[in-house]
Chain A
């Protein structure tokens, strides 16, 4: 399998054609990285404008029509064009074949097609924004979206529809790759947790995204031709939309967190020099989350007129789905015990992830409590809760993973001190932005309001102040990452002395990934343990 080409780094050829027609999973990962950062930047600017508007209770900066378009744009771009593809399509694309000891994903052409679909979807969404925008919120609730909203709803849902196929194809590619392209000796229980979580994510993408595609198609049909599926005047049911939408969108929440959990499960053992505590429990928890995540969609609808009995079932299952997440958190924490801990940038992000995800998860238990949800749903409490999961969780994990694998991707180290500083700034800015929103929500501040009663202003000012700090935390890495491309210290194949097949090949990896196909003889995270008399195997090693 080793050809003369294999020794060439994957970044060496540099024509536009070589990028746009590449079938190399590493290059496609970078194409995704660049594209999702563009969408992230647009959506972040929208968030900045929203926060500025909310400095004043009377909403003097932007008109309500514009405000409604901004939060819709923020939601749509962040969910479908940043969070969902962030870790799977960027880091997963780059790292999964390397972790498996494979030459590429199972279907390299399909992988490139996924990226093109993603771009077409993204362009449609941007076109919808430029052509007048959409003011439905990212949830497209009927009959507002189908009958009453002005703006480019059909173009926008078409964009999401197309991008959805990108998700489906990526999921399919990952599933097949994980089944078929594992290196000799790489059994399921020797897989890094990141692979388990990508696998669980892929299953969700393949099973849930078609439902989204279907329901968005129905919205477009209803809007174009007024068939009446969701229109009560014609015997339709607007609540049906909510069921179908959340049947996708709740599992999609796990698409937005499971890969983050996977990244953190890589970072903690590496920077603690320990095997992951409770490997089979952490791996099993990923699968359990993927399964139970399909059964809790109704907890978004406790006040929608859903039957109280259905509400009880969904509330109960929502409590159950919290348990595997708790198991993961406890196992990560236990991994630190008697470790040899280095607080490098990726580790700071990982520890920040655990803290913020814990807060996000625990406040989810407030929302799952039926009587409490009645009060706090549709308020800033919900906004704060899901930002703790999406930003505090997924974005921090993405940043941690990006720093961790940056030397592998580029062959260069980022500046460590600046990296740590950015991680700390992000953590502080994030908490200042979103913690006050829990209080705001409990006080009764509704979400999606461009103006509000005076008494809420104090918390909005805190939140906006936090957002500006958070913005600094986001911008710093952009500069030092670009700087590191030329000036960073050469990383060498394994700058972290980490385990895992991706660290056995040069940085940046050759086109073929491995000069000789690797053979695996041991479990993951096999960091050398301190010797002591009597020599007994360390705990938590059930992964062999």
Chain B
């Protein structure tokens, strides 16, 4: 037959559905409050019906106030509930597993933190918060999983993210919902929610590739980043350990938070934000590095902070376990340039 309500397969889905049920009830109330009198008056006061049509000259502003204030109160109520739910939707917990998503005409490329890659399919473990870090190689796409009630546009040149906690194993639709050209309707796939054990089993099955962090570490040397940002430096460049999430002082007195977007812009458009106290000498890597590589490099830079930074902006200790870059020397902390 035909479905009348979408499946709920993530913890946030119920919150959205509850608001919608309340909205439907509210809408039904107002539809009856309008259509009922229209039908009743049209019948009772039809022209051929000789009823009393006399109206006394009562003032009308009290009823105008009533039917202005009641909808206003209802509207503000719905705004508040929906906005607070949205606010929770927008802020992932710190321990969320990060999966990389790259949209391109017309497919979704996905990479798990362990390195496993897939296309137009997204395997997720049940019961764990997952954050998708997303970007596009070409036009704007939108990543939509109806069963989770989540959607986020995926933009070129910018990172967007969304998160969810899948809570029901099964196979669900994945759609691109921002019109992206000829193959838009085929840019869909499936989301497979597995039990945690099955997810682990799935991760280790089939083709394996190196994790984004490992790949990023390799790229850090391959693109020559380590030449200036680590080791025996040719030029003086900011240190990158613990950078992610810190506040970076910029030339000209402003500051910015070193998020994924900042790291990305610093690699592709290095002169747009110069770290205070450094020369604008970094070359742009625009056109030389793919979106996948960029995400891997950023994952690596983030791991530097997470592994050794201890959360403090001032800490300069490195973890050497990956053997990627030597200990830093005495250089001021800052962003990358």
Contact = CB atoms under 8 A, between A and B. Distances in A.
Interface string A224-259: 000000001101001100000000000000000000
A89 interface: no
A341 B46 contact: yes
A539 interface: yes
B175 A539 contact: no
Interface of B: 1-6, 15-16, 19-20, 23, 26-27, 30-31, 34-35, 37-38, 41-42, 45-47, 52-60, 63-64, 67-68, 71-72, 75-76, 78-79, 81-83, 85-87, 89-90, 105, 138-140, 142, 144, 146-147, 149-153, 155-158, 160, 173, 175-186, 269, 272, 286-287
A135 interface: yes
B82 A370 contact: yes
Interface string A64-91: 1100100000000000000000000000
A238 B140 contact: yes
Nearest to B59: A539
Interface of A: 59, 64-65, 68, 135-137, 139, 141, 143-144, 147-149, 232-233, 235, 238-239, 272-273, 277-278, 281, 302-305, 308, 311-312, 315-316, 319-320, 322-323, 326-327, 329-331, 333-334, 336-343, 351, 354-355, 358-359, 362-363, 365-366, 368-375, 377-379, 439, 442-444, 446-453, 455, 457-459, 529-532, 536-540, 542
B68 A336 contact: no
Given A143-B156, A303-B142, A369-B23, 19 more contacts: A141-B139, A149-B181, A232-B157, A308-B90, A311-B86, A316-B76, A319-B78, A323-B71, A338-B45, A339-B41, A341-B42, A358-B30, A358-B34, A362-B31, A378-B142, A439-B4, A444-B144, A536-B57, A539-B58
Contact of B19 (A372, A446, A449): A372
B16 A340 contact: no
Contacts of A458: 1-2
A148 B78 contact: no
A489 to B, nearest CB: 20
A281 B76 CA distance: 21
B68 A323 contact: yes
Contacts of B158: 232, 305
Nearest to A351: B38
Nearest to B69: A323
B153 A303 contact: yes
Given A235-B272, A369-B78, A327 B64 contact: yes
Given A351-B38, A371-B82, A372-B20, A443 B58 contact: no
A183 B79 CA distance: 45
Given A359-B31, A442-B20, A379 B47 contact: no
From B149, B152, B185, name the one whose CB has the most chain A CB atoms within 10 angstroms. B185
A537 B181 CA distance: 63
B247 to A, nearest CB: 19
Nearest to B184: A448
Contacts of A366: 20, 23, 27
A539 to B, nearest CB: 5
7 contacts: A148-B139, A323-B75, A326-B68, A330-B34, A366-B20, A458-B1, A539-B58
B20 A337 contact: no
A329 B31 CA distance: 11
B186 A451 contact: yes
A235 B286 CA distance: 11
B295 to A, nearest CB: 15
A539 B82 CA distance: 39
Contacts of B144: 378, 444, 446
A336 B38 contact: yes
B2 A459 contact: yes
A378 B144 CA distance: 9
A315 B82 contact: yes
Contacts of B75: 319-320, 322-323, 365
Contacts of A442: 5-6, 20
B182 A135 contact: yes
B82 A354 contact: no
A304 B26 contact: no
Nearest to A457: B2
Contact of B34 (A141, A333, A539): A333
Contacts of A457: 2
Contact of B38 (A137, A277, A355): A355
From B34, B37, B87, B173, name the one whose CB has the most chain A CB atoms within 10 angstroms. B34
A443 B3 contact: yes
B101 to A, nearest CB: 14
Nearest to B34: A358
A340 B151 contact: no
Contacts of A369: 19, 23, 78-79, 81-82
Q: Which 8 A-B pairs have the closest CB atoms?
A: A232-B157, A444-B146, A532-B54, A369-B82, A370-B86, A378-B177, A458-B2, A371-B85
B108 to A, nearest CB: 14
B332 to A, nearest CB: 27
Given A358-B34, A446-B175, A238 B181 contact: no
A377 B144 CA distance: 10
